């Protein structure tokens, strides 16, 4: 097994290479870790390789906010500097500059 270092990090704002959405990364899988049903729902001609990092995003497009699971090959750094409006971003992260967030410190009892 080849171990790859993820190109993007938690809190980074990214955008999809082909589709009009962007988001903040909140988790990373070193390689595909979703269901076969999800995998097979992607048309074969655009289905990404499984042996690459996959990113969990708090995502948004022009109409709505949602979570997304995206392969590294389909992401680019978002350099717009625009904030993300997804409600989970404000709940989980704090801004640290244009296009970047840091996880909020967890408080517990």
Identify the domain containing residue 19 by its residue range.
Answer: 13-103
Is 109 inside a domain boundary? no
Token digits of residue 29: 């899988």
* Alpha helices, H only, the chain: 36-40, 87-92
Is 30 inside a domain boundary? yes
Q: Does 106 have pLDDT greater than 80?
A: no
- Quick one: DSSP state of residue 36? H
pLDDT at 21: 97
CA distance 75 to 59: 12
Is residue 66 within 8 Å of 96, Cβ to Cβ?
no
The β-bridge partners of 28 are 55
CA distance 57 to 25: 5
Dump pLDDT digits (tens) for 44-93: 888 999 999 999 999 999 999 999 999 999 999 999 999 999 999 999 99
Number of domains in the chain: 1
Lowest mean pLDDT among 33-42, 59-68, 97-106: 97-106
* pTM confidence score: 0.90
Is 51 inside a domain boundary? yes
Is 88 inside a domain boundary? yes
Is 70 inside a domain boundary? yes
């Amino acid at each position: 097994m080849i171990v790859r270092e993820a190109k993007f990090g938690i809190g980074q704002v990214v955008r999809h290479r082909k589709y009009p959405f962007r988001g903040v990364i909140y988790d990373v899988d070193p390689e595909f870790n979703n269901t076969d049903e999800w995998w097979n729902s992607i048309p074969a001609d655009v289905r990404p390789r499984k042996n690459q990092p996959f990113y969990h995003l708090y995502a948004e497009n022009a109409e709505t906010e949602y979570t997304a699971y995206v392969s590294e090959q389909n992401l680019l750094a978002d350099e717009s500097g625009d904030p993300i409006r997804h409600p989970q971003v404000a709940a989980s992260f704090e801004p640290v500059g244009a296009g970047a967030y840091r996880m909020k410190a967890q408080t517990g009892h």
